[in-house]
Structure 1
Amino acid sequence: MKSKALLSTNVLLAIAGVLTVVVAVVAFLVVRSVDSDEAKTAAPSTSSTGDDTPAAAGSPSANEDPAPAGTVPGAPAEAGGPIPSGATQISTIKKPRYGSPVAVFKVPSGNIGCGIESTGLQCRVSSYNKDKPYGLDRQGGAIDTITIKGGVADMSYHGSDVPPWAVGAYGADDRLTPQVVGYGQTVYYGQYVCHSAEVGLTCWDSTSGAGAFMARERTELFTATPASSTGANKCSSMTGEQAVAANVAKVPRFRGWAWDPRHASVENYDSCLALSWIVLPIEGPTASSPFQLMLFHNGEYIGTATERAHGFAPKVTRVDDSTIDVVWTWKRPGETTAGATGRSTAQFHWDQAADKVVMTGEEPA
């Protein structure tokens, strides 16, 4: 009996020991689980979305008050103002099958490339895609693209689209390589200006003054300084009807025929654009009667597109704020007015540096 009682006691003690170990293990796991959950709650997230990373929080795109242009280190003194007199127009212009022409260029290092259309400017800093100094956006892409559009400069994630300055951006036929803008050079296209320097690239809208200084180390957005704002392009107070009435007497008559300002096409006159136009007919015109093309810079009359007037109303289309394309129709020998097939094409561009209109192409003989 004594041996059986001793056995029972030992068994009970063993069971109690096992239970103690089990309870201790369970308690340890519970405590560890609680600690782990608290750590997850307290620790900063390392999610790849990047919108809560320290770098993303300091992104210039989140800056509600961009600095005035004159206070941005590295930006030239003229940043935020009108197109500098020494600036040259970008020479490499891509013409997509659909959409407006795009001027493309890169800086000598190749780290920054830009594309400029009549509606805005876009630049990308390649190193930002790797180094991610401004973090990631909500889509998980590096914030590497600077845009200037509608009078506002901003930073964002561009996405996986091929940039317009890349060869083949607009299909297999697009073999144009971007122009390389050397350090110390200033270029423009339409109202947008860019100055290349070893310290970085500065681009701005000459109308609104909004812009950005871009470099491998940082990008800083800016607005126009008060001085550059007052020096920006001014608009005339005249309407199209008033502009043609005030200047029609300056247009030489065609073989004694008077011009008819009452029936002039004034819908494309814009007193705030670098180049706009009015199509002027003679009195009592027919389909093949002569027309003249009156040109205006910021609403100020600067003369006719050509010295001679030409028959048939010209077809004029806008390329950008300072450039227009003109197509004239003319009759080949033996053709009727209705069947005229002759065409002559020219482009007119307001050259800010030269302070005049530059014509390329040809007018009818």
Structure 2
Amino acid sequence: MRTTSTVRTTGLLVLAVAGTVALAGCTGGAGSDPTATVTRTVAASPTSATGAGSSSTPSTTPSSTPTCGPADGAAAAAGPIADLPVPAGLEGARWDASRADTTAYDGCAALSAVTVSVVDATASSPVAVLLFHDGTYLGTATKEQYAFVPGVTRTAPDALRVEYRYAMPADSNADPTGRATATYTWDDGAGRVEMTGDVPPTP
């Protein structure tokens, strides 16, 4: 599903629907057809998130903003992870900050990320992608935390590509073949993150 969403630093949820398509918040749901085209504008809450085990490109040049946040991604993400609500249906679970993946984090980058999953995670456990601007936590990439570890790649100091994985009907949890790719870009003029692309379809 073609998607455009916005993460505001205020953490307020805003929904603007393009055309006549009505969508709910940043649920991340793309419907049953991952190839459908939709446009939406959303602001993520700073207390919701996705993903451990992400990957990233080597460190890139910092943003033009002279302010940098914590150099240590684990330190930057500790508070947000502690405040992150557990996924629906997993009320007894806890996010595992000790195993958060900080390879896509850069305290001086216009946009970077930390991913985290739950304690004793399995292959299909939910993963949260936390977004940061100059080391300041913005919120999660999507309101819903999807199963399976996504691939998170820094493509520029102000842009991230997230490849979500999901199980197709004949797949096992050990080898999901579904893919959905979203791009997150920091808009310095607007002071927010723009999201375009696809997320996993809603079951």
**TM-score range normalised by the length of the shorter chain:** 0.5 to 0.7
| TM-score normalized by the length of structure 1 | 0.36
TM-fit CA distance, 1:347: 0.2
Asked whether 1:267 is paired with 2:103, we answer yes
SS at match of 2:116: strand
1:242 alignment partner in structure 2: 75
User: For the Cα contact (< 8 Å) 1:312–1:330, is it kept in 2?
Assistant: yes
Matched ranges for 1:256-335 at <5 A: 256=91, 257-335=93-171
Counterpart CA distance in 1 for 2:173 and 2:111 is 31
Counterpart CA distance in 1 for 2:192 and 2:79 is 21
Q: CA RMSD in A?
A: 1.6
SS at match of 2:121: coil
Asked whether 1:251 is paired with 2:89, we answer no
User: For the Cα contact (< 8 Å) 2:104–2:154, is it kept in 1?
Assistant: no
**Residues 142-166 of structure 1: CA distance to partner in whole angstroms, max 9, x if unpaired?**
xxxxxxxx8xxxxxxxxxxxxxxxx
SS at match of 2:78: helix
Counterpart CA distance in 1 for 2:177 and 2:104 is 26
Counterpart CA distance in 2 for 1:252 and 1:301 is 15
| TM-score normalized by the length of structure 2 | 0.64
Matched ranges for 1:1-365 at <5 A: 191=63, 207=64, 232-255=65-88, 256=91, 257-365=93-201
Counterpart CA distance in 2 for 1:327 and 1:237 is 26
Counterpart CA distance in 1 for 2:200 and 2:66 is 33
Give the letter for the 2:76 counterpart: A
Q: What are structure 1's unaligned runs of at least 5 residues?
A: 1-149, 151-189, 192-206, 208-231
Give the letter for the 2:74 counterpart: E
Larger Rg: 1
SS at match of 1:273: coil
**Residues 336-355 of structure 1: CA distance to partner in whole angstroms, max 9, x if unpaired?**
12332111110000011110
TM-fit CA distance, 1:268: 2.0
TM-fit CA distance, 1:238: 4.9
Give the letter for the 1:305 counterpart: A
Give the letter for the 2:195 counterpart: M
TM-fit CA distance, 1:233: 2.8
**Residues 17-40 of structure 1: CA distance to partner in whole angstroms, max 9, x if unpaired?**
xxxxxxxxxxxxxxxxxxxxxxxx
Counterpart CA distance in 2 for 1:319 and 1:233 is 21
SS at match of 1:262: helix
User: For the Cα contact (< 8 Å) 1:251–1:304, is it kept in 2?
Assistant: no
User: For the Cα contact (< 8 Å) 2:104–2:152, is it kept in 1?
Assistant: no
Counterpart CA distance in 2 for 1:277 and 1:246 is 14
SS at match of 1:246: helix
**Residues 307-362 of structure 1: CA distance to partner in whole angstroms, max 9, x if unpaired?**
00011111011110000111011111121123321111100000111101110011
Q: What are structure 2's unaligned runs of at least 5 residues?
A: 1-60
Total equivalences in the alignment: 138
TM-fit CA distance, 1:299: 0.2
SS at match of 1:271: coil
Identity fraction in percent: 36
SS at match of 2:182: strand
SS at match of 2:81: helix
Higher RCO (C-alpha 8 Å, min separation 6)? 2
User: For the Cα contact (< 8 Å) 1:240–1:270, is it kept in 2?
Assistant: yes
Q: After alignment, is 234-243 or 318-327 more displaced?
A: 234-243
Counterpart CA distance in 1 for 2:193 and 2:66 is 16
